[in-house]
Amino acid sequence: MPETLKNPKVRDIIEIDEELCDGCGDCILSCAEGALALVDGKAKLVSDVYCDGLGACLGQCHAGALRIIRRESADFDEDLVRANLSHEPGSAACPGAASRRVAPQASLTPTPFEAKGPALGLTNWPIQMKLAPPNAPFFDTPVLVVAADCGAYACPSYHSLFLSEGYPLVLGCPKLDDVDLYIIKISEILKANPQIRELRVPIMEVPCCRGLIYAVVRALERSGRDDTRVRCFVISSEGRVEEEFPQDS
């Protein structure tokens, strides 16, 4: 890493609030200089010399974790940026978009939760979150599955785990869609259907997928629903599923 305090001066530079950052990775894709990277699930400034301080990443952060400040730092260096990008191709890309082969698992370790019966398949349509009307009759349910698009393809036991009890499902991709619209739609569903007491959220292991958890938590706040439980299930690209307690941000 280049020396960040070489020839320091006061200038505009990015600052990241780690408490607000949910690790979605959208800011990383928007930074053409490769100044940002995901480290332990949080966006980090790789080096001062890679940040031009123009703030192209700001509009991509739905969590409001980024801002431009003025502080003493090393000057932006275009030559070092070019060298960094050429030596580490793809380093600025979101981990969820990285190409790789996946080895399917012949058998999976049993999960700590069990399906209650055989897979029933879909019990509602439409399933795309943007298309489902908040007052649809199928939302008359105690449990709603709010799922990430890719999970059903990655997990062989998806139907038996998440569609075995006849609960409705809505899905979307927080990477490709506007998460703010998800917050609005989920909150509208909750307001129109007070009988919903649990949201099950199967997501993929990639950081950007946690934007769906962010949307669910914010929707609960927006709708004033402190009586609703959230269960988060993380699916690996090999198809393994683990339940974890969702973060509150």
Report the DSSP beta bridge partners of residue 14.
68
Tokens 């299930």 -> residue: 233
Which of 60, 77, 94 is where one domain is finished? 94
Both 76 and 168 in one domain: the answer is: no
Both 147 and 49 in one domain: the answer is: no
Both 226 and 153 in one domain: the answer is: yes
The whole domain housing 67 covers 8-94
Both 68 and 141 in one domain: the answer is: no
In a domain, 73, yes or no: yes
In a domain, 193, yes or no: yes
Give the pLDDT score at 109. Answer: 47
In a domain, 115, yes or no: no
Both 73 and 149 in one domain: the answer is: no
Both 21 and 88 in one domain: the answer is: yes
Give the pLDDT score at 2. Answer: 42
Distance (Å, whole) CA 65 – CA 45 = 13
In a domain, 102, yes or no: no
Give the pLDDT score at 172. Answer: 94
Both 85 and 143 in one domain: the answer is: no
Which ranges of 64-196 would DSSP assign to H, the alpha helix? 78-87, 151-154, 158-162, 179-192
Which of 62, 94, 126 is where one domain is finished? 94
Q: What is the CATH number of the domain that holds 72?
A: 3.30.70.20
- Provide the edge-to-edge strand list for the sheet that holds 143-148: 169-172, 143-148, 198-204, 229-235, 241-244
- What is the full per-residue pLDDT of the chain (249 aa) written as tens digits? 444 455 678 999 999 999 899 887 778 877 878 888 877 778 899 899 999 998 888 877 888 899 999 999 988 888 888 877 765 444 444 555 555 565 555 544 445 555 455 657 789 999 999 999 999 999 999 999 999 999 999 988 898 889 888 999 999 998 888 888 899 999 999 999 999 999 999 999 887 788 899 889 999 999 999 899 999 999 988 888 988 765 443
Both 83 and 156 in one domain: the answer is: no
Which of 32, 67, 94 is where one domain is finished? 94
Give the pairing type, strands 66-74 and 241-244.
unpaired
Give the pLDDT score at 201. Answer: 95
In a domain, 32, yes or no: yes
In a domain, 151, yes or no: yes
Upstream peptide bond of 126 is cis (omega within 30 degrees of 0): yes
In a domain, 126, yes or no: no
Tokens 């200089």 -> residue: 33
Both 142 and 238 in one domain: the answer is: yes
How many domains does the structure of the chain reveal? 2
Distances (CA, A) of 205 to 53, 102, 202, 222: 31, 13, 10, 26
Q: What is the CATH number of the domain that holds 220?
A: 3.40.50.2300
Both 149 and 88 in one domain: the answer is: no
In a domain, 175, yes or no: yes
